[in-house]
Structure 1
């Protein structure tokens, strides 16, 4: 998820100025609720993602979420590209009620991109995350691997929601 939200914010600004979107909106896909931000904090591993230039050739990608005193969340995305460890720091805030898994994240200035958790295991061990369009999808887990059955269920769920799961990339190797 390196620089993921950075690109999301830039894409949102471009969409505003251009008046159109290149992909189907995810507005009809609800964010998870009830959501407990404190349980969501910590380290998440990228299991699968839709491809984007900002994550090209990235492996061992993680996101670490830490609570801030103001109620927001600090974000540290990290991963490896060409033998180099790269990081990106950002800030997240809730788009509304903190019991809904919908945030905005910024890696620069006042520009924020959507971060919508659309599936979450009851024990907070895995999740599906998207943004404002079906161009963005991440399958995340607390461990660097995800049980195959869980992965297949998430992939099927994402396909039913309109995501192009055939295009998924696997930064730690294909789970299937």
Structure 2
């Protein structure tokens, strides 16, 4: 299994120094922001224990660090120190291989708010803001430091058409350009 760094997912193969520089520049351009974008309020109350476990990536904005990956999932495990271990996994169809990265998330304030920051590479953190969440914790809409970083996650590999439209409606209300979303294949039986 090959390694990949993620925000939440970022494929890498033998280019740590280059990627670190690129990520540092990206964080510099976004002001190392971990706060939600203007006009987006994070979910509160938020229960990290209920959020823990495996989530499937249903849709995302296109970024080079996830390009070509399908079957993407994220598993969140609460750690004794209050942080959250993040294990991202995706299938690179070009290489016919799984890629995985392990990171760390910490709350940016009150632990009952869905505002976290995630790091997969040293001291560099990116915002992980839960902008909408199913009351039963079956789906989640996550936004990074701006509306160009968006993920729709689900406990199931697919959303029903009704739930999909509900999530998209919430995303539109938050000013997210849902036409830019890429719908992630979740069809492999070994995922």
TM range (shorter): 0.7 to 0.9
Aligned to 2:162: 149
Aligned to 1:125: 138
Residue correspondence of structure 1 range 9-158 to structure 2 within 5 A: 10=24, 11-16=26-31, 26-82=37-93, 83-158=96-171
TM, length-normalised to structure 2: 0.81
For the 8 Å contact 1:9–1:113, the answer to whether it is kept is no
Query: Number of residue pairs matched?
Result: 167
Q: Which runs of 5+ in 1 are unaligned?
A: none
TM, length-normalised to structure 1: 0.88
CA pair 128-31 structure 1, distance change in 2 beyond 3 A: same
Over the aligned positions, Cα root-mean-square deviation in angstroms equals: 2.2
Bigger shift: 151-160 or 59-68? 151-160
Cα deviation digits, residues 36-90 of structure 1 (max 9, x gap)? 0000000000111111111111100000000111000000000101211000110
Q: Which runs of 5+ in 2 are unaligned?
A: 11-21, 187-191
Instruction: Determine if the alignment matches structure 1 residue 3 to structure 2 residue 6.
Output: yes
Q: Which SS does the other structure have where 1:169 is aligned?
A: strand
Q: Which SS does the other structure have where 1:16 is aligned?
A: coil
CA pair 140-84 structure 1, distance change in 2 beyond 3 A: same
